[in-house]
Amino acid sequence: MGKGSIVAGVLAPHPPHLVYADNPPQNEPRSECGWEVLRWAYERCRASIRALNPDVLLVHSPHWPSFIGHHFLGLPRFQGLSVDPVFPHLFRYRYDVKVDVELSLQIRDRVAAQGQLTSVVENPDFRLDYGSIICLHLINPSWDIPVVLISANQSAFYYSNEVGADVAKIVGNATREAVEASGKRAVLLASSSLSHRHFVHEPEIPEDMSFERIHHHGQYLWDMKVLDMMRKGQCRELLDIMPEFNEMATAETKVGSLNWLLEALGVPDYPAEVHGYGTVIGTGNAVVEWTASKPRGAQ
Ligand code: 2X7
Ligand code: FE2
C-alpha cells in the first residue's frame, strides 16, 4: 500500500446559521439569506478541497465532548436528525453519514497505544454532534466521502489549556501516523470558531444582517492576530500563544480542535489561505486552509 497523507487541513467553523442560510433540503427551517461572506468562503474552500480528491474527511469537534479519553465511531453508517440545542429554530438537519470504520479504529488504536483511554460507539442510534455535521455539510454537501469523527477530550477545562494542548498533540500525531499507514488521502477539519463570545438576544429575523457584528473589539483584535500568524506560516508561535488566546478571546479553540489539526499537519510553517472571516451572532469565524502542496496567502 502506498503512503497515505494528509493532503489538507481546514479550520472549518460550524455556526448552524451558515447551513440555515444555505437552505439545503436536509434542513427544515427556511431562511432568506445571511452570512454570505462566510458562505462564499466555504464555497471557495470546498472547490479547493474537492480538487484534492480526498478518500476521507476527518473531524475533531467541540460539540462531541468526552470527559474520559476519546470516543470513535465503530459503525459504517449513522442516520438521524441533528438539532442544535441552542438554535433549534435554525438547525434541524437529517443526516445520513458513511464512516471509514477502518481508519477510525486505526486512529483509536494509536491513541490508546499512547496511554489514552478510548471507547468505540457501536450504538446505531447514537446521534452525531452538530459541530461535525455542519462543517461536513459545508465542505462536502454531497456527502459522498466517508468520514471519521473524533470526540473532544475536555482536559483543557478540567485541568488547564496546557494539559489540553498535550492531549491534542497526542491525538494529532496518532491521526497523522494512522493516515500515513492507511495509504489514504485525508482532509482534516478542525470544527471551530475563533473568538466565541456571542450575543444572548437574537433579532426577530435571525438573518437580519443589520444586527451582525463582533461582540467586542478586543475579541476582533485577537482574531486578527491569530489569522495574521496563520497567513505568515507562524503556527509554532500560534501554538505558543494559544492558551492566552483561548482565555482572552473566550475562544472555542480551547477545546483543542485547532491544536489537533496543527499537530497532525506537523505544525505548518507555510502560509495558510484565509478564505474568509465573518461574525455569527457576535462570534469570530474564519475558513482557513492549509495545503502543503500549494501554500498561499501572505509571505
Ligand atoms: O456552536 C456554535 C458556534 N460555535 C458559534 C456560533 C453560533 C452558534 O453555535
Ligand atoms: Fe460551537
CATH number at residue 168: 3.40.830.10
Q: Which of 15, 72, 10 is nearest to 39 (CA)?
A: 15
Q: How many CB atoms lie within 10 A of CB 278?
A: 22
| Ligand 1 mean position, distance from CA 285 (Å) | 9
Least confident among 5-19, 173-187, 236-250, 284-298: 284-298
Q: How far is CA 277 from CA 29, 73, 85, 168, 257, in A?
A: 25, 31, 25, 25, 18
The verdict on the CB of residue 118 being under 6 Å from ligand 1 is no
What pLDDT, on the 0 to 100 scale, is given for residue 160?
A: 97
The residue range of the domain holding 108 is: 5-290
Residue corresponding to grid cell 460550524: 14
The verdict on the CB of residue 192 being under 6 Å from ligand 1 is no
pLDDT digits (tens, 9 = 90+) for 151-193: 999 999 999 999 999 999 999 999 999 999 999 999 999 999 9
The verdict on the CB of residue 212 being under 6 Å from ligand 1 is no
The verdict on the CB of residue 129 being under 6 Å from ligand 1 is no
User: How many domains, in total, are found in the chain?
Assistant: 1
Once rounded to an integer, what is the mean pLDDT over residues 126-142?
Answer: 98
Cell numbers linked to 131: 459541530
What pLDDT, on the 0 to 100 scale, is given for residue 1?
A: 64
Q: Which residue is closest in CA terms to ligand 1's atom 9?
A: 15
Cell numbers linked to 23: 437552505
Residue 139 within any structural domain of the chain:
yes
Q: Which residue is closest in CA terms to ligand 1's atom 6?
A: 15
Q: Which of 81, 103, 78, 295 is nearest to 188 (CA)?
A: 103
Query: What ligand is nearest to the CA atom of residue 285?
Result: 1
Cell numbers linked to 123: 450504538
Query: What ligand is nearest to the CA atom of residue 65?
Result: 2
| Ligand 1 mean position, distance from CA 196 (Å) | 8
Residue 255 within any structural domain of the chain:
yes
The overall average pLDDT reported for the chain is 96
Can you tell me the distance from the alpha carbon of 125 to that of 281, in angstroms, rounded to the nearest whole number?
Answer: 31
Residue 295 within any structural domain of the chain:
no
The verdict on the CB of residue 193 being under 6 Å from ligand 1 is yes
Residue 298 within any structural domain of the chain:
no
What pLDDT, on the 0 to 100 scale, is given for residue 171?
A: 98
| Ligand 1 mean position, distance from CA 15 (Å) | 4
Query: What ligand is nearest to the CA atom of residue 62?
Result: 2
Question: Does the model's pTM come out above 0.85?
Answer: yes
Is residue 298 pLDDT above 60, yes or no? no
**Ligand 1 atom at minimum distance from 131 CA:** 1
| Ligand 1 mean position, distance from CA 18 (Å) | 10
Name residues whose C-beta falls within 8 Å of residue 76's C-beta, 6 or more positions apart in sequence: 98, 99, 101
Query: What ligand is nearest to the CA atom of residue 193?
Result: 1
Name residues whose C-beta falls within 8 Å of residue 4's C-beta, 6 or more positions apart in sequence: 179, 180, 181, 182, 183, 184, 185, 186
Query: What ligand is nearest to the CA atom of residue 85?
Result: 1
Cell numbers linked to 48: 479547493
| Ligand 1 mean position, distance from CA 191 (Å) | 10
Residue 58 within any structural domain of the chain:
yes
The verdict on the CB of residue 140 being under 6 Å from ligand 1 is no
pLDDT digits (tens, 9 = 90+) for 224-244: 999 999 999 999 999 999 999
What pLDDT, on the 0 to 100 scale, is given for residue 268?
A: 97
| Ligand 2 mean position, distance from CA 136 (Å) | 14
Residue 15 within any structural domain of the chain:
yes
Residue 299 within any structural domain of the chain:
no
